[in-house]
Structure 1
Amino acid sequence: MPRVIYNTATTLNGFLADDQDSLSWLFVVRGAEEAESGFSGFLKGIGVLVMGSTTYEWILEHENLAEHPEKWPYDDIASFVLSSRRLPEIPGADVRFRRGGIDEMWSELTDAAGDRDIWLVGGGDLVGQFAEAGHLDEIRVSVAPVTLTSGKPLLPRRLESDRLTLESVKQAGQFAELVYTVRSAS
């Protein structure tokens, strides 16, 4: 059974993006290259990635995929986008649009992942849905030395310490990398 891993970066005060869904705060942090150095190894263990519509639209715009579909960064990974809206497709990319609950698509996700893991790219509400369904195994968060006055929260759900176990802490440049295992709600 694949593990479901939420791997993301956040501000010190727990925001994924600002109010305009911008990640500009992230790209100016010194040492980002060092923090990303292990990411290719992480991706080798991923068989499926899942994201919400806002994350997908950000990647479309940020990578200018309408004009350059070859820049889709996840060629060898089945990509699921959960949305109730119709979104633009990327020619040649294995992007599967789905709507509905996590349990409804759970077997499709695990079948597509095979013996590799499922990466929850974001956003926080999508991750919360996986947590509520009992399908969130690990949270890996890189905390940046940035604070925002408001924005998109890391995980807009209540997960208490009885469900989270700190597994590791590591410094990577200016980032603190935290890894927690997540226990399903009883």
Structure 2
Amino acid sequence: MKTQFYGACSLDGFLATPDHDLGWLLQFGEIEGSSYPAFLRGVGALAMGSHTYEWMLRHAVDAGQPWPYAQPVWVFSSRTLRPVDGADVRFVGGDVRPVHEAMRRAAAGRNVWVVGGGALVGQFYDAGLLDELIVQIAPVTLGEGLPLLPRRITQPPLRLQSVTTLGGGFAELRYEVPRPGQSA
């Protein structure tokens, strides 16, 4: 069981535009050879930031598509957000540690997916709960926006596990996140 970030960012390291938009990524559609289907089969619970959740509402649910996750989703927010009928969505706030324990129990041996955004991924990293980063680097630059991981991580450095080319334009990087005190 791992706690993983899985997602895409621009070549210059941004997950979204300054106004939290992911539209730049939609131009690529389904990426040939994507690891997403296999990744999702291994997920037992999800952590999601409020802006990511609202984006999903606007671009999936409000567009007439069903909620895409059968797994329970914990949405971290300090605001009141509307639920999705029939979806197992739980709204939480504060420290990620006690929520992570509940997520692990619900995942029942499968992985916990920290969907985003970057600030939420950083909170899991800060708490020593993040095990792996799986990042698809898109062949575009945004110039500004919301960073992939707004943290300084130098010691110990992340450990590169693999690099894969996807669809001729994306590179998928997999990094293990060592715990402080572990050698690289």
TM-score class normalised by the smaller sequence: over 0.9
Cα root mean square deviation, aligned:
1.6
Q: Return 157-166 or 80-89, whichever deviates more.
A: 157-166
Three-state SS of the structure 2 residue aligned to 1:34 is: coil
Counterpart of 1:182?
Answer: 177
Counterpart of 1:61?
Answer: 58
- Superimposed CA distance per residue, residues 64-120 of structure 1 (whole angstroms, 9 cap, x where no aligned partner): x2574x610002x11110111110000100001111101222321111111100001
Counterpart of 2:82?
Answer: 88
Give the 3 Å change call, closer, same or farther, for CA 122–66 of structure 1 in structure 2.
same
Query: Amino acid of the residue matched to residue 33 of structure 1?
Result: I
Please give the alpha-carbon distance, in whole angstroms, between the structure 2 residues aligned to 1:67 and 1:20.
20
1:181 shift after superposition:
0.1
Alignment of 1:164-179 (within 5 A): 164-173=158-167, 174-179=169-174
Counterpart of 2:38?
Answer: 41
Three-state SS of the structure 2 residue aligned to 1:126 is: helix
TM-score, normalised on structure 2?
0.92
Counterpart of 1:12?
Answer: 11
Q: Does 1:155 align with 2:149?
A: yes
Counterpart of 1:25?
Answer: 24
Count of paired positions = 180
Query: Amino acid of the residue matched to residue 175 of structure 1?
Result: F
Give the 3 Å change call, closer, same or farther, for CA 144–82 of structure 1 in structure 2.
same
Q: Does 1:122 align with 2:113?
A: no
1:142–1:176 Cα contact (<8 Å) kept: yes
1:161 shift after superposition:
5.7
Please give the alpha-carbon distance, in whole angstroms, between the structure 1 residues aligned to 2:23 and 2:175.
26
Please give the alpha-carbon distance, in whole angstroms, between the structure 2 residues aligned to 1:118 and 1:138.
10
Give the % identical residues: 46
Three-state SS of the structure 1 residue aligned to 2:32 is: helix
Please give the alpha-carbon distance, in whole angstroms, between the structure 2 residues aligned to 1:156 and 1:67.
31
TM-score, normalised on structure 1?
0.91
Structure 2 unaligned spans of 5+: none
Please give the alpha-carbon distance, in whole angstroms, between the structure 1 residues aligned to 2:118 and 2:43.
19
Structure 1 unaligned spans of 5+: none
1:34 shift after superposition:
0.8
Please give the alpha-carbon distance, in whole angstroms, between the structure 1 residues aligned to 2:7 and 2:79.
24
